[in-house]
Amino acid sequence: MRETNFISEPELLSVPSPFILESSRLCVLESLDTPLDSLYARLLDGTYEKPYIIEDGRLRYLHFGVRYVQSAMRIDRPDVLKLRYTQKMMSFLLFKKTPGRIAMLGLGGGSLAKFCYRCLPDADITVIEIDPHVIALRRHFAIPEDDVRFRVVRGDAAEYVASAVDEPIDVLLADAFDEHGLAHSLASRSFLQHAYAALEETGILVMNLAGDQSRYVELIEAARDIFDRQTLLVPVKDDENYVLFGFKQRHFDPDWHQLRLRAKELKASFELDFPAFVQMMERTERIDTMNKIMKVLAG
């Protein structure tokens, strides 16, 4: 007899994981009578079309495919930012400590959404997610219910940004991916142009770049052009990601001494290593890491 049980919602099936992790479980949006042989085969050959969860009792991971982890959550502390790139994306707080309006593109496991909801109580947060199956998993990643200052909206992220000019955005966090990497709708010059237009005068674009590098090499150059070279590209060694920052503020000239002081305050408030983040960002600017990385990506 196969071992099965439901978790929280009747459509989520939990079975032993077919992957390498010892004692891990697979949680899928399937009915109890789903044939396991067929399910496992589609998961292992990459043809399974829905997001799924792998958990080991301590950590819960969201996957769109075998190759990439889309999100990771500590089950005992679901609001903690587990993946390093999500921590670095929060570096926008160095430059905009109290954002009024935050838009997030891509829900995933809701790591950034939960963190901002808990730590920035004065911020209005809208999350755009195109995949209804991702939204269906929100309770399993402890994502808050919609309320007056937080909402998850099903829709196309690029279309949302293109129509957002009437309500300027303070911080735009772009972290939308599919099983291959960066979502196609965000990997374009037109998206960056709309993002620039949607930001308020001192707004910041923060974009996670990962997966297939061919999707974002040209995007980096386009961002540099559209944001008038007011960009920083920060590598995330542990996760093999890059975080791209685009600053709309004209004549952006960071005061690194003040930012180092602010980083210490932020570390005390948010339990993230902001001093290390600001050190890396300052080094990035001084040695022009953008050019260095572009040469590497170009081969």
Q: What is the mean pLDDT of residues 208-228?
A: 86
Query: How much of the chain, in percent, has pLDDT values that exceed 70?
Result: 89
Check pLDDT > 70 for residue 286.
Answer: no
Query: Which secondary structure element, helix H or strand E, spans residue 196, and what is its range?
Result: helix 189-198
**pLDDT (0 to 100) of residue 46:** 87
**pLDDT (0 to 100) of residue 175:** 94
Among 67-71, 98-102, 116-120, 287-291, which is the least confidently predicted range? Answer: 287-291
Note the CATH architecture for domain 84-297.
Answer: 3-Layer(aba) Sandwich (3.40)
Assess contact for 66 and 44: CB atoms under 8 A.
yes
**pLDDT (0 to 100) of residue 166:** 80
**249 token code pair:** 């503020």
Cα separations in angstroms, 206 against 57, 170, 171, 258: 32, 11, 7, 21
Output the average pLDDT for the chain: 88
Q: What is the pLDDT of residues 21-54, one digit of tens each?
A: 657 899 999 998 999 999 999 999 989 999 999 9
Check pLDDT > 50 for residue 3.
Answer: no
**pLDDT (0 to 100) of residue 7:** 40
Query: DSSP strand E in 130-168: where?
Result: 150-154
**pLDDT (0 to 100) of residue 218:** 87
- Domain spans in the chain, listed from the N-terminal domain onward: 5-74, 84-297
Q: What is the pLDDT of residues 231-249, one digit of tens each?
A: 999 988 766 789 999 999 9
**123 token code pair:** 């911020």
Q: What is the mean pLDDT of residues 117-145?
A: 95
* Distance, CA of 24 to CA of 30 (rounded, Å): 18
Instruction: Find the largest Cα–Cα distance for the chain.
Output: 67
Q: How confident is the model at residue 5 (pLDDT cuts 50, 70, 90)?
A: very low
Q: What is the mean pLDDT of residues 135-145?
A: 94
Assess contact for 7 and 14: CB atoms under 8 A.
yes
Give the DSSP letter of residue 83. S
Which residues are known to be catalytic? 175
